[in-house]
Amino acid sequence: MRYDTIVIGLGGMGSATAYQLAARGQRVLGLEQFSAAHTLGSSHGHTRIIRQAYLEGAAYVPLVQHAYDRWRALERDSGEQLLIVTGGLMLGPEGSDTISGSRTSAELYDIPHELLDAPEIRRRFPQFRPDDSTVGLYEPSAGAVRPEAGILAHLRLAEQHGATLQFDAPVRAWQADAAGAGVRVTTDRGVYEADTLAITAGAWAPALLRDLGVPLIVERQVQLWFEPTESIAAFGPGRFPIFIWENDADTHFYGIPALDPALGVKAAIHHGGAMVQADMIDRTVQPDDVARVRALVRQRIPALDGRVIDGAVCMYTNTPDEHFVIAAHPAYRQVVVAGGFSGHGYKFAPVVGEILADLAIDGATQHPIALFAPDRFGAAID
Ligand SMILES: Cc1cc2nc3c(=O)[nH]c(=O)nc-3n(C[C@H](O)[C@H](O)[C@H](O)COP(=O)(O)OP(=O)(O)OC[C@H]3O[C@@H](n4cnc5c(N)ncnc54)[C@H](O)[C@@H]3O)c2cc1C
C-alpha cells in the first residue's frame, strides 16, 4: 500500500507529527528504531520546562503560547495530565542575556511577570541563595510538561486515527524523487512508498540529513534528581518554581520541582557537555557529571544537597545559532524536516507536529517559522 506520509522517528516531534497527519485524514506510516517513549534519545526524563518569557528570542513567543493551548487540548483528548504550571524563575546578573532576553519577550507580549532583586528572591523563595548582584524574572505561567506521557498520548491518538506505527524498525535509507513525485523508505522489513516524508530523527538527523546544509552537532547532557536534606515539601510544585540560572556565558544551571516526591528534584546544566555521536555516546552517568551539578546545587540551593536519586544521559542536537530547523527539505519539496532543537524543543512538540503536517499537506504553514529556515547557514546543497 502507498502511504500519504511516512514519518521517520517517533520521539517528541515525530509522535506529534504522526498524530497531526492522521487526525487530518492522512494514511500515515510511522517508523521508529526503538520502542515507544524509549530513553535513548532526547525526550526522556519525566519533565521538560515550558515557559513563555522566552529568553532565546521573542520570535518563539507566539509558538509557545499556541503550544500551551495544544498541550491543554492534548490533555483533553488523551485524558492525561501533561502540563503542570509551577511558576518559573529566570536568574542572572542584571543586564545578562537571561534577564534581558526573558524581559524583552515578556514586555513585547504582555506576559505577566515580576522583576525581583536578590533580597526579594530570598524572601519569596528561601530555597535559593542568590548573591547580591543576581536578579530574577518570575513568570507565573511557566511550568513543566511530561515528555514520555506526551509521546505515548500522541502515539495512541495517532493509532486511533488510523496511523500504522512500527517499532524496532530502523530506517536504513530514504530516497526522494527530484521532481517531487514521492519517496521510498527502506527498513529491514521492507521498502515503503509515500507521497511525502517527515524526518524527525532527533540526534540521528546528522546521518539521515547529510545534504540538508545544516551543521548539526550532538551534545551529551546529563539530568540528575536530587533528594533535599530537608522536607521534600519545600521543593514541590506549589513552593518551588522551575528555574533557569545563568551560570556563565555558555551554560545555565536549571531545575524542575519534585512533581512526584519519590523522583526528587531535577537539577542539571544546560550545555557544556561533550560532543558525541548518537550511536557512540557514553550512556552511564559518571562521577564527574554529578560533581559539576552538585557544586552548583551546594552553592545556590544548599538544602537540595542530598543524595542523587537518579540520573539519565540525554542528547541535544545543536545548530550553530541554537535555533531550530523546521522546513521543507531544500532539495526535495515533498520531504519535511524538524530537527536541531538545541536543547529547548520539547515544549513546542504539539506545534511542531502541526507545522510539519501543514508543510506536508499544504506546502506552507500559518505559523511563523522564518527563523527556522535551513538556508540561513548559507550552505550549498548538492
Ligand atoms: C537533558 C535534556 C533536557 C531538556 N530540557 C528541555 C526543557 O526543559 N524544555 C524543552 O522544551 N526542551 C528540553 N530539552 C530538549 C527537548 O527534549 C528536545 O528538543 C526534544 O525532545 C527533541 O525531540 P526529537 O523528536 O527531535 O528527538 P527524539 O525525541 O529523540 O526523537 C527522535 C526519534 O527518532 C528516532 N530515529 C532516529 N533515527 C531513526 C531511524 N533511522 N529510523 C527510525 N527511527 C529513528 C529515534 O530513535 C528517536 O525516537 C531537553 C533535552 C535534554 C536531552
Q: How confident is the model over 138-182, as pLDDT tens digits?
A: 999 999 999 999 999 999 999 999 999 999 999 999 999 999 899
Which residues is 244 bridged to in the sheet? 90, 254
Of residues 94, 24, 61, the one with CA closest to residue 347: 61
For ligand 1, say whether the CB of 42 is within 6 Å of any of its atoms. yes
pLDDT exceeds 90 at position 381? no
Q: At what angle do helices 12-23 and 147-160 cross, to 10 degrees?
A: 30
What band does 209 get if pLDDT is binned at 50, 70 and 90? very high
Specify the residue with its C-alpha closest to ligand 1, atom 19.
345
| Mean pLDDT of the region 268-283 | 98
Tell me the mean pLDDT in the region 52-56.
98
**Per-residue cell: 64:** 509557545
Check residue 379 and give its pLDDT.
56
Give the model's pLDDT for residue 249.
Answer: 85
Closest ligand 1 atom number to CA of residue 348: 11
Range list of β-strands (E), 164-296: 164-166, 171-176, 183-187, 190-199, 217-226, 242-246, 252-256, 265-270, 275-276
Q: What is the mean pLDDT of residues 200-225?
A: 96
Ligand 1 pocket test, pick from 38, 48, 242 with the greatest ligand atom count within 8 Å of Cβ, gives 48
Residue with cell 550545555: 271
List all residues 6 or more positions away from 362 whose beta carbon is below 8 Å from its beta carbon. none
Query: Whole-prediction pTM value?
Result: 0.98
pLDDT band at 123 (very low <50, low <70, confident <90, very high): very high
Question: E strand or H helix at 97, and its extent?
Answer: helix 97-108
Q: Of all protein residues, whose CA lies closest to atom 46 belonging to ligand 1?
A: 9
* Mean of the per-residue pLDDT values of the chain: 97
Give ∠ CA 84-299-269 in degrees, rounded to 5: 50
Q: Where are the beta strands (DSSP E) in the chain?
A: 3-8, 28-31, 48-50, 83-85, 88-93, 114-116, 134-139, 143-145, 164-166, 171-176, 183-187, 190-199, 217-226, 242-246, 252-256, 265-270, 275-276, 308-318, 325-329, 332-339
Ligand 1 mean position to 12 CA, how many Å?
Answer: 6
